[in-house]
Amino acid sequence: MRCPYCGGEETQVKDSRPTEDNTAIRRRRVCSTCGGRFTTFERVQLRELSVIKRNGRRAPFDREKLARSVQIAVRKRPVEPERIERMISGIVRQLESSGESDIPAEQIGTLVMEGLRELDDVAYVRFASVYKNFREAKDFETLLGELNAEDLPPERDPS
């Protein structure tokens, strides 16, 4: 592991423990060259994933890109970071355990939409507006109508 301060390759692990959600190993390291201390997080990767974009192009799956897009959607919303991390880890686990190496971008978007719907309605609408490429206010009205319809209790049978 390279030192982020001096670029030295001789680093020692001083402490190693699982993260609270058990999705990664947190390692405290010290650089033998400059004495700098830093933390790394290591995650188990079950398989190498590729994303098949809408235009047919293939790109390596990037967990950090997924996390950034979710962070944009939940910005300034009262959602605990642990819940966000659990959602992202759950999506990645679903993708890795699907048995497929090539994942359509639409499948990832659908999983994110499902996760955000459970976390926060506003974040869900924000993400949906970009993911579904909303062009006019009517698109928002339709999505909000769907959200409201699902929140209503089921109608009772009068008989």
- Of 67, 97, 72, 96, nearest in space to 84 by CA: 67
pLDDT tens digits for range 119-151? 998 998 888 888 777 888 888 888 888 877 766
CA distance 156 to 10: 69
pLDDT tens digits for range 68-127? 999 999 999 999 998 999 999 999 989 988 888 999 999 999 999 999 999 998 998 888
Strands 102-104 and 50-52 come out as parallel
Length of the chain equals 159
Tokens standing for 104?
A: 């359509």
Sheet holding 102-104, edge to edge: 58-60, 50-52, 102-104
Bridge partner list, 39: 28
- Of 40, 65, 39, 31, nearest in space to 51 by CA: 65
pLDDT tens digits for range 51-67? 999 899 999 999 999 99
Residue 55 phi, psi (nearest 5):
-85, 5
Global pTM value: 0.64
Strands 58-60 and 50-52 come out as antiparallel
Residue 36 near residue 4 (C-beta atoms within 8 A): yes
pLDDT value at position 157?
A: 47
pLDDT value at position 46?
A: 58
pLDDT value at position 45?
A: 61
pLDDT value at position 44?
A: 66
Phi-psi region of 74 (alpha: psi -120 to 50; beta: other; left: phi over 0): alpha
Q: What value does the mean pLDDT take over residues 25-48?
A: 87
CA distance 93 to 79: 21
